[in-house]
Structure 1
Amino acid sequence: MKNWKQLSLLALCTVGIHATASANLSFIGTLVEPPLCTINNGNTLTIDFKEVGVNKVDGVNYRLPMNYTITCAGSTLPWEMILSVKGTATSFESSAVQTSVTDLGVQLLQNGQPFKLNTPIVINPASPPALEAVPVKRPGTTLKSGGFNAAATLLAEYQ
């Protein structure tokens, strides 16, 4: 009986070794580029707060809309677009661009909510979100009179 078990095991191993199948695979496709898009026709978007009272900076006063447009060439593919603002955030607010004044930033809002810098959001380029900008200061500080400026990059990308 011991020989019978050994013969059975040998037969199973032999069947396992010779039982193979194969198929040829072929992969084809077309690489396409996303459509060309521009923001504000390539022009700089400038938000001028004009005169800002040093005692009135509270994250509400002086709020202004960021009027921008996104224009893309036609495409038949369902591309996903992301929008981000690239810039240096203040140390006291991650959604505020650092200005030339140490304790002053320009906070960005997306549909009324803080828009964290350097963090992309998925958007529909046909109806981009409403963006606003508002001066904010470090809590507990007093601002001094003088000019200020800040810069960031509004970036729309297809994925």
Structure 2
Amino acid sequence: MKLKQQFALFAVCAIGFCANAMANLTFSGTLRAPPPCTINSGANIAVNFGEMGVNTVDGVKHRKRLDYTITCTASTLPWNMYLTVTAIATSFDTSAVQSTVPDLGIKILRNNLPFVLNTKLSINPASPPELEVVPVKKSGTTLSEGNFTATAVLVAHYE
């Protein structure tokens, strides 16, 4: 009789532990895309340094403001905007765009601070940072005469 009682007790306990509780889950929401933005109305931004002496490239002289605008359509969501300068950096300065001359770069500054290339910077689109550019050379090198170019892409995006 004891064995039957133990079995009955086991059966009652097993049924109690195996009982399942269930609930239905429903998920919903609305996906929104960030508002479209343009930089400089889609036009290229060109900075011409003109003629410079090979011995005057010092990271200070020839500094120029980078004039640009960011225009976005209105949005009801609180998006975070980021600015990135995408380019190949020089081997001697992570804030300088490599030019066609090996030891010459174009350093980008934001509000007088180096703007590290290929990194995103959180900005307020209503008052974007002031950007400036200045030619720089690798320390200890002598530049040769000749034309140069350097290119980068300025990207504003929301997250």
Q: TM-score, normalised by structure 2?
A: 0.89
Q: Distance in 1 between matches of 2:67 and 2:45?
A: 8
Question: The residue matched to 1:109 in structure 2 has which SS?
Answer: strand
Q: Distance in 1 between matches of 2:32 and 2:40?
A: 25
Match of 2:51 in 1: 51
Q: Distance in 2 between matches of 1:106 and 1:21?
A: 66
Instruction: Using the aligned pairs only, state the percent identity.
Output: 52
Match of 2:114 in 1: 114
Q: Distance in 2 between matches of 1:122 and 1:6?
A: 68
Question: The residue matched to 1:38 in structure 2 has which SS?
Answer: strand
Match runs of 1:10-25 below 5 Å = 12-18=13-19, 20-25=20-25
Match of 1:158 in 2: 158
The Cα of 1:33 is off from its aligned counterpart by 1.6
The Cα of 1:30 is off from its aligned counterpart by 1.9
For residues 103-156 of structure 1, give each alpha carbon's deviation from its aligned partner in whole angstroms, at most 9, with x where no partner exists.
Answer: 100011111111111111111111111111010001100011121111110001
Q: Which runs of 5+ in 1 are unaligned?
A: none
Which segments of structure 1 move beyond 3 Å, counting only runs of 4 or more? 2-14
The Cα of 1:15 is off from its aligned counterpart by 2.2
Question: The residue matched to 1:16 in structure 2 has which SS?
Answer: helix
Match of 1:28 in 2: 28
For residues 9-34 of structure 1, give each alpha carbon's deviation from its aligned partner in whole angstroms, at most 9, with x where no partner exists.
Answer: 7655442211x321111122222221
Match runs of 1:7-156 below 5 Å = 12-18=13-19, 20-156=20-156
Q: Distance in 2 between matches of 1:42 and 1:32?
A: 24
Q: Distance in 2 between matches of 1:155 and 1:72?
A: 13
Question: The residue matched to 2:148 in structure 1 has which SS?
Answer: coil
Q: Call closer, same or farther: CA 1:149–1:17 in 2, change over 3 Å.
A: same
Q: Distance in 1 between matches of 2:34 and 2:22?
A: 38
Question: The residue matched to 1:129 in structure 2 has which SS?
Answer: coil
Q: TM-score, normalised by structure 1?
A: 0.89
The Cα of 1:91 is off from its aligned counterpart by 1.1
The Cα of 1:7 is off from its aligned counterpart by 7.5
Aligned residues: 157
Question: The residue matched to 2:154 in structure 1 has which SS?
Answer: strand
Question: The residue matched to 1:31 in structure 2 has which SS?
Answer: coil
| AA matched with 2:155 | L
Q: Which runs of 5+ in 2 are unaligned?
A: none
Q: Distance in 2 between matches of 1:32 and 1:90?
A: 39
